[in-house]
Structure 1
Amino acid sequence: MVRILHAVNIMDRAGLETMLMNYYRHMDHNLIQFDFLTHRSQEGAYDEEIKVMGGNVYHAPRLYIQNIPKYFMYMKSFFLLHNEYQIIHSHIDAMSFFSLLAAKKNGISIRIAHSHSSKLDKDLKLPIKYFALKNIHNVATHNCACGALAGRFMFSNEKFKIINNAIDLKKFKYDKSIREEIRNHYEISDKFVIGHVGRYCYIKNQLFLLDIFAEVKKYRPESILLLIGKGPDEQQIRKKAKKLGLEDDIKLLVDRSDVNRIYQALDVFVMPSLFEGLPVVGVEAQANGIPCIVSDKISKEILLTSCIEMLSVEQQASEWASKILNCNCERNQKAEDELRAKGYDVVLEAKKLQDWYIDLDDKTKGIKQL
C-alpha cells in the first residue's frame, strides 16, 4: 500500500477539501491510502470519515511568520516518526513552499505542489505568500493544478499536470422527487429559488450577490436566496440582508453535508466570485443541470456544459438580475454525459490518479536502489 500525505489547512467542507474526498472515496484502499497534514488545531468536518476509511489526520502548527521555526521543528520530528511517507502532495497554494521545503529537508523524494486558485488571497501573510510563490519551484518535484489558469498562476512557464475537480456525477444528477422534498421542507414550493454555494468570504462576493438579489426581488417578489457554506463574513451577510429588508427572504444554510440535495431545489445557481481557479461547486451545479451564471473572474475552463454563462463582475447588480430573470430554468438533460466526456467523472478520474501515485511510488523505490 502507498500512503500519500496531503498537506491542507483543515479538512472542512470547502472546494479543494471536497475534491480530495471525492477522489479518496473512489480509490482502492488496498493500494492507496490518504493521510492529511492539517495546519489547524481543531478538527475538520471530514476528519471522522477520513478515519473510518483508514486515513490519519495530523495537526501541524499554523504557518504564521512567528511560527516558522516551530513549524520546521515539528516537521523534522514528524518525518522522523513517520518514515512511511515518500510522497507529499500540498494543497495550500503558495504556502505549500513551507510544507514542501520541510519535506525536502527531511528527505521526502516526491514533493507535489497543487494550485487551486488564480490569485493570492490578500491578508496579513501576503508578503510571505509572494516570497513563497516565487520560490516554490525550488522545493517541488512535481506541479499540479485544477486547471490551466491556476497552473499558469503558480508555475508560470513550468510544466504542470491538470487534475480535474471531478465529482460523483450520479450523486448530483437531477431528481424531481428530491426537489419536491427539499422545497416542501423549506416551504419554498411556490418560490423562485436562487442558490449559491461557497465559503462566506470576500473572494466569493456574497455581499454583491445580496445586491443582485435585491434587484431580482423588484420583479419577482416570490424570490428566495439560499446561501450554503460558512466563513468569516457570515455576520456581515446577515447584517446586510437585514439592512436591505431581505432577512426573511435569504436563508443561510451553514456547513451542510447534503449540498447535493440542496442543488435540486434551485432554479438558478449564481456565483459572482472575485477570483477562482476552477471551483468544485461550479462542476456540481452543472452536474445537476441548473442554469448557472458565474463571474468572468473564474477560469473559462468552468464552461463545461451548455447550461452555464459568464457575466462581468464589473457590471451592475441590475444587469446580473436581468440575466437571472431571463434564464431558461429547465434542467440540462445532457449534463452528465457532457461532464463525463470532459473528464469530470470521479469514478474514472480516481483510477488515473491512483495509477499516477503508484507510478511515482515505484520511482521512489528506484531512487532508493541507486
Structure 2
Amino acid sequence: MSLKVLQVVGVMNRGGAEAMLMDILRNKPENVHFDFLINNDPARLTDEGSFDKEILAYGCEMLHIGSQLRLGPIKYIRQFMKVVRELQPDVVHIHLNAKSGLIALAAKLGGVKKIIVHCHADIKFRGSLLSRIFNETEMWCQKWLIGWCATDFWGCSKEANLRLYRGKIYEKSLIVNNAISCEVYRTVTEDQWKALRQSYNLPKDAVILGNVGRIVPHKGIAHIVDVLAVLHKRKVNAHFVVAGRNDAVEYVENMMTHAKKLGVDSKIHFLGERADIPVVMHTFDVFVGPALREGFGLVAVEAQAAAVPCVLFKGFPKTVNMNLGLVSFVDDFNPVTWSDNIMQALARKKVEKELILDVIRSMGFDAKENAIKVCNAYTSKS
C-alpha cells in the first residue's frame, strides 16, 4: 500500500525549492506517491509551471487552489479541506514558507496526522514600511499556527529555521539538505558543454562569469555590471551569462541602461529559462552569486559539482561551501573587491570533478540519497 503525500507548493517553475522537490520525486521509492496542490492567484490557476508535464508523467495528480490573500482564510481552509477529503493524504508537506501556518491549520482540521512545514528561505520582506509591518505581523500569526498545528519542522538551513520557527519549535526543527543529482553532473561530457559554450558566440579569450536563477532584484545580478567595468579596465575580457526566467523586466532594463553607460552592455547575455542547468554550469569560468540573502543557495553547490569556483556575497549561508577550496565569500558589493576575488578564483588550481562529487555525496548533498532520507522521514514518528 502506497504512502500518499500531498506536496503543497506554488507554481512549479524552476527554482531551488522546486528543483529539490523534483529530485525527490525522481528518486523516491515506488511505495511513496506524490500529489501536488498548486497555490496561485485565482485569476491565474491555469498557468502551467515548467515542471508540470514531468510531474503528470510520474502519475501525480495536480490540483489548484487560490492564494490565501485572495481567498481569505475561511474560504482557503474550506477549499483545502475539500482537497484533503478527496485525496486523503497520509502526509501533507508544505513548501510555502511564511504562508505555512494557515495551511497547517487546514490540514489539521482535515484530519491529517503528519503535517510537515518546510522553510526554503531566510525570509526577508521588502517594500514600504507599512507593507513590511503587515507582512511581519502576518508571519507572527503564521508562526503561532505552525507551532500549534504542524508535527514536523524542516528547513534548508539554520538561518531559514531561525526565521520561521519560535523557541522550542526551533529546537525541534531539522535541517533537510537541498541536494543535487551527482549522477547527472558526472555524465556531462566535455563535448556537451563546449558545444553550448561555443553557441554563446563569445571571443575565445572570454572569461565567463555565470549566474543561474530567477531574475528578481534581491538576487542582485545588477551589481555585476560594475564588476565587469573594473575587469574591463584590467584588460580581462569578462562576459556575464545569466540563465533564468526574467521576473523583473524594469530591474533588468535599468541594469542594462547602467551597463550601456559603462560600455559593458555587450558583455551581458541572458539565456532565459533552461532545462539543462548541469551543462550550463560547466560553461562558466566563475560562478558569481551576489544575492542579498539565500535560504540555502543550491546553485552554489551545483557550480561546485561542475568544478566551477564560486564568488558569493555573504547572503549565502556558509553551509553551501563543500570545503573544496572553490568558494570565497565577499562582505560587500565593492566592485574592486569582487574583481579581486574573481581573479583569485581564476588562478586557483583545478579540482578533479570525481573528487568533488564524492565529497558532495559524503556531506549528504546527493539527491538520490537525500530522497531516501526524506521518504523515510515521512513514515517516522514526529
TM-score (norm 2): 0.88
Aligned residue number for residue 32 of structure 1: 32
How many corresponding residue pairs?
358
Aligned residue number for residue 366 of structure 1: none
How far 1:283 sits from its partner (Å)? Answer: 1.3
How far 1:217 sits from its partner (Å)? Answer: 2.5
**SS of residue paired to 1:199:** coil
Counterparts in 2 of 1:81-160, with a 5 A limit? 81-83=86-88, 85-122=89-126, 124=131, 126=135, 127-156=137-166, 157-160=170-173
The answer (yes or no) to whether the contact 2:240–2:269 under 8 Å persists in 1 is yes
Cα RMSD, aligned residues only: 2.0
**SS of residue paired to 2:222:** helix
How far 1:240 sits from its partner (Å)? Answer: 1.8
Cα deviations by residue, 1:65-118 (Å, 9 ceiling, x for unpaired): 6633321221122222222x1210101112111211111111111110111112
* AA matched with 2:176: I
The answer (yes or no) to whether the contact 1:61–1:67 under 8 Å persists in 2 is no
Aligned residue number for residue 194 of structure 2: 180
The answer (yes or no) to whether the contact 1:11–1:47 under 8 Å persists in 2 is yes
The answer (yes or no) to whether the contact 1:212–1:317 under 8 Å persists in 2 is yes
- Decide which moves more: 252-261 or 131-140: 131-140
How far 1:330 sits from its partner (Å)? Answer: 5.0
The answer (yes or no) to whether the contact 1:116–1:146 under 8 Å persists in 2 is yes
**SS of residue paired to 1:60:** strand
- Decide which moves more: 32-41 or 348-357: 348-357
CA–CA distance in structure 2, aligned partners of residues 45 and 121 of structure 1? 26
Aligned residue number for residue 367 of structure 1: none
Alignment CA distance shift 1:311-1:175 (3 Å):
farther
Cα deviations by residue, 1:13-50 (Å, 9 ceiling, x for unpaired): 0010000001110112x211221111121121101100
CA–CA distance in structure 2, aligned partners of residues 286 and 203 of structure 1? 22
In the alignment, structure 1 residue 309 sits paired with structure 2 residue 328: yes
CA–CA distance in structure 2, aligned partners of residues 216 and 94 of structure 1? 40
Aligned residue number for residue 368 of structure 1: none
In the alignment, structure 1 residue 191 sits paired with structure 2 residue 201: no
Cα deviations by residue, 1:152-175 (Å, 9 ceiling, x for unpaired): 222244311221111111212464
**SS of residue paired to 2:265:** coil
Cα deviations by residue, 1:305-337 (Å, 9 ceiling, x for unpaired): 32111111x241221122112322554212111
The answer (yes or no) to whether the contact 1:195–1:270 under 8 Å persists in 2 is yes
CA–CA distance in structure 1, aligned partners of residues 48 and 278 of structure 2? 23
CA–CA distance in structure 2, aligned partners of residues 32 and 256 of structure 1? 29
In the alignment, structure 1 residue 5 sits paired with structure 2 residue 12: no
Cα deviations by residue, 1:96-149 (Å, 9 ceiling, x for unpaired): 112111111111111101111123333546142343134421121111111222
Determine what percentage of the aligned residue pairs are the same residue.
25
Cα deviations by residue, 1:224-273 (Å, 9 ceiling, x for unpaired): 10111124224422432233223321111111111111111100001011
**SS of residue paired to 1:113:** strand
The answer (yes or no) to whether the contact 2:104–2:145 under 8 Å persists in 1 is no
Counterparts in 2 of 1:1-370, with a 5 A limit? 1-28=2-29, 30-40=30-40, 41=45, 42-64=47-69, 67-83=72-88, 85-122=89-126, 124=131, 126=135, 127-156=137-166, 157-173=170-186, 175-188=189-202, 189-245=204-260, 246-306=264-324, 307-312=326-331, 314-327=332-345, 328=347, 330-333=349-352, 334-359=355-380
CA–CA distance in structure 2, aligned partners of residues 133 and 217 of structure 1? 48
TM-score (norm 1): 0.91
The answer (yes or no) to whether the contact 2:215–2:244 under 8 Å persists in 1 is yes
**SS of residue paired to 1:326:** helix
**SS of residue paired to 1:187:** coil
